Amino acid sequence: MTTVLKNSAFDPSAIVDAVRSVLPESRPLPLHEPEFIGREWEYVKDCLDTGWVSSVGSYVDRFEQLVADASGTRFGIACVNGTGALHIALVAAGVERDDEVLVQALTFVASCNAVYHAGAVPHFVDSEGETLGLDPDALDAYLEGIAEIRGGAAYNRKTGRRISAVVPMHVFGHPIRMDRLVEVAARWHLALVEDAAESLGSTRDGRLMGSGGLLAAVSFNGNKTITTGGGGAVVTNDEALAKRLKHLTTTAKLPHRWAFDHDEIGYNYRLPNLNAALGCAQFEMLPQFLSEKRALAERYRAAFATVPDAEFFGQPEGCVSNYWLNVVMVPDRAAREALLEALNADGIQARPCWTPMHELSFNGECPRASLSVTEELVDRIVNLPSSPKLGRQG
C-alpha cells in the first residue's frame, strides 16, 4: 500500500471530475442497486402459480446447488440472510459460549454480531494494505505473543478463554491470502470460517472464495452482486457438516410424515422458495454482472491514473476480484470527508468504510491486537457507485 502524507490543501474537484467521467449524467446514482433483467418475473410467478412460496420447493434445491457451484464447494445450505448463515456456520464449526473468535476489525458489523449470536467473544485483529482483509502473517505473530496450545486447542493466556475460530472477510470482494491463513489456522487449531458475503465469484490463484476453509457464509442482500431480496447461504465440502447445517436451520425437526419432534435447539433460518426463485434467475445473470463490474473497475482505474491524491484500489496480485464495491484511496480522513461531501452533493452516492469494530461502543471490552493498518485504511477509503449496469455503458 502506498503511504500518502497528510495534505491540508486537498481539493476534491479533480477526483470528482474523474468519477463523473466514468458515470452517466443522470442523478441520483446509488452505491449499488439490484437489477432484474433475466427470468426473475417468470420464476417468481411460477412460485405464485403453483403455491410453493414458503420454505420448501424446487427453487430452494436449485439455489443451493447454484451457490455451491459458484463457491467451488460440494454443498450449499440456503439461509434467511448472510448474518444467519455466518452464525449457524460458527455453531456448526464448534464455537461455544465464551470462546473467542478472531475477526478482522475492518469488516461489516455482521461478522461481529454473528460471533455474539453464537455466545462467543469477538477478538479483533488487523488487516493488510494489499488486500484490505485479514493479515495472516500479522495474526500468526500476534498469536505467538498471546496464545498457547493446551489439549489440542488454542487459549488466550491473558483471558484464559479458548480461541476456537478465525473469520476472514474478503473486503469489497478482494480475496485475502487464504492459503497462508489455512496454514496459520491449522497451526493454532482454529476452525476457519470464511465471511464470503461480498466475494461471490472472486478467485485467488484460480480458487473461488468460499472454498478455502471449513465453512463459508455468503450474502444475497439487495445490495450484493446478485440478490434474493434478503437471503444467504452456507457452503462447505464436508457432507456431515452440510447435513447438520440443514438440520439446524430447519428447526432441528426429525423427519416424519406428521409428527413434530425436535432433537436439539434449532433455528428457523429457512429461505423461502420465492426468494430462492429470484436467486436462481439472478445466478443466470452472474457471469454478465461480473464482467460488467470488472469493466467498470477498469474505467475507474484509468480515470484515476493521473489524478493527484487519488489511488484506485485494484485487485491483489493473483486475484480476479468481483469488485463488489470500487474504492478510491485518498490521503487522510480530512480528504475523505471532503470527497464524500463533494460527491454526495453532486448526487453520486459515496460512502466511507465501516466504523472499525473496535471503535463501536459495545465492543469496548473485546480483546484486540494492534490495529494500526486498519486505522489508516479507514481514514483513506471511499466507496464509489458500483452497480453492474454502470459497466455496461460506452
Band of residue 8 on the pLDDT scale cut at 50, 70, 90? low
Task: Give the Cα separation of 146 and 155 in Å (integer).
Answer: 8
Q: Determine the Cα angle at 86 with ends 40 and 244, to 5°.
A: 95
E strand or H helix at 276: helix 273-304
pLDDT at 11 over 70: yes
* Mean per-residue pLDDT, 226-250: 97
Residues 308-317 have a mean pLDDT of 97
Give percent above pLDDT 90 in the chain: 97
Q: How far is CA 367 from the centre of its chain?
A: 22
Q: Higher model confidence: residue 18 or residue 3?
A: 18
Rounded average pLDDT over 27-48? 97
Domains of the chain: 13-34+286-391 (3.90.1150.10), 40-282 (3.40.640.10)
Burial of 129 (0-12, 13-18, 19+ CB in 10 A): middle
Burial class (CB in 10 A: 0-12, 13-18, 19+), 113: middle
The residue-averaged pLDDT of 257-274 equals 96
Q: What is the pLDDT of residue 5?
A: 43
**1, pLDDT greater than 50:** no
Give 4's pLDDT tier (boundaries 50, 70, 90): very low
pLDDT digits (tens, 9 = 90+) for 170-205: 999 999 999 999 999 999 999 999 999 999 999 999
pLDDT at 382 over 70: yes
Q: Which among 147, 115, 140 has a CA at the least distance from the CA of 126?
A: 140
Inter-CA distances, 283 with 38, 309, 342, Å: 9, 38, 36
Amino acid identity for residue 101 in this structure: V
List pLDDT tens digits, range 126-137: 999 999 999 999
Give the model's pLDDT for residue 125. Answer: 98
Which string of DSSP letters, residue by residue, matches 317-378? TTEE---SSEEEE-SSHHHHHHHHHHHHHTTB--EEPPPPGGGSGGGTTS-B---HHHHHHH
In which band, very low, low, confident or very high, does the pLDDT at 297 lie, cut at 50, 70 and 90? very high
pLDDT (0 to 100) of residue 394? 54
229-242 burial code (b ≥16 CB/10 A, e <16) = bbbbbbbbbbeebb
What does pTM read for this prediction? 0.95
Model confidence pLDDT, tens digit, residues 39-56: 999 999 999 999 999 989
Mean pLDDT calculated for residue range 115-131: 98
The pLDDT of residue 9 is 80
Taking residues 240-260, report their average pLDDT.
Answer: 96
Looking at residues 342-359, what average pLDDT do you find? 98
C-alpha cell at position 294? 470488472
